[in-house]
Amino acid sequence: MPSHRPRAAASTAARQLSTRIERRTAHLSIVGLGYVGLPLAVEFGKAGFKVTGIDTDEKRVRELQRGVSYIPDVPTADVQELVRSGRLEATTDFAVLRKADAVNICVPTPLSKQRDPDVSFIVAATEQLAKHVHKGMLVILESTTYPGTTEELILPRLQETGLTVGRDFFLAFSPERVDPGNPRFNTKNIPKVVGGVTPTCTEMAVQLYRQRLERVVPVSSPQVAEMV
């Protein structure tokens, strides 16, 4: 398997993040703990990462804090074990992003009357993220959306902070293509397409997914991944 560690010319932030991912000491955060976000949080937790889930739904957060799953594909026993061992936490407080090395955005994008994805949840999550983005952070959008969302909507807002993508922070798109209830393909074995804003962004995101998922397919940009 080819190495997905960053090349020697990569920034210090990239090399440090890569080491944390490889050693599984990276602290992960999942924004949006529904059909997509909760299974992902559990997969990363099982891989040995410490995962903090953030959701605006207080009831869901309370259930997870008690170790209870509300998603049929995710057994309560798995959540219970991860919560008990401290590898899975849930909160409504976005300030935890200050300590996150990587963030996966899994918020809803319901279709509008015109059948366009409603990106208002992505915008709301990005606003929160912009308050806490920091050097060395990897941000991956997983919500289903239209081509251009990552680079036109998220990137400019995060760069307003003065941080530079590909050097200080890393941004990628990777659509969740899971089919809940499918007996053959699940979060772990469905091929994951990943497109970063820069080659280092792609490498960082691919490296993270390879810690747990079986098939990760790098593509040249977020737009290519958004068209899958």
Residues that bind ligand NAD (CB under 6 A): 31-37, 54-57, 60, 106-109, 121, 124-125, 143-144, 176-178, 180
**Nearest distance, CB of residue 196 and ligand NAD, angstroms:** 19
**Nearest distance, CB of residue 70 and ligand NAD, angstroms:** 9
Residue among 12 and 92 whose Cβ is closer to ligand NAD: 92
Residue nearest to ligand NAD (CB): 34
Question: Which stretches within the chain are classed as H helix?
Answer: 12-23, 37-46, 58-65, 76-84, 120-132, 149, 155-159, 199-210, 222-226
Residue among 125 and 197 whose Cβ is closer to ligand NAD: 125
**Nearest distance, CB of residue 128 and ligand NAD, angstroms:** 7
Query: Using alpha carbons only, how large is the chain's radius of gyration in Å?
Result: 16
Nearest Cα neighbor of 153 from 91, 88, 226, 207 is 226
**Nearest distance, CB of residue 36 and ligand NAD, angstroms:** 3
Distance CA 186, CA 166 (A): 30
Residue among 10 and 31 whose Cβ is closer to ligand NAD: 31
**Nearest distance, CB of residue 113 and ligand NAD, angstroms:** 17
Residue among 12 and 120 whose Cβ is closer to ligand NAD: 120
Distance CA 202, CA 208 (A): 10
DSSP state of 151: I
Distance CA 182, CA 165 (A): 36
DSSP state of 24: T
Residue among 10 and 100 whose Cβ is closer to ligand NAD: 100
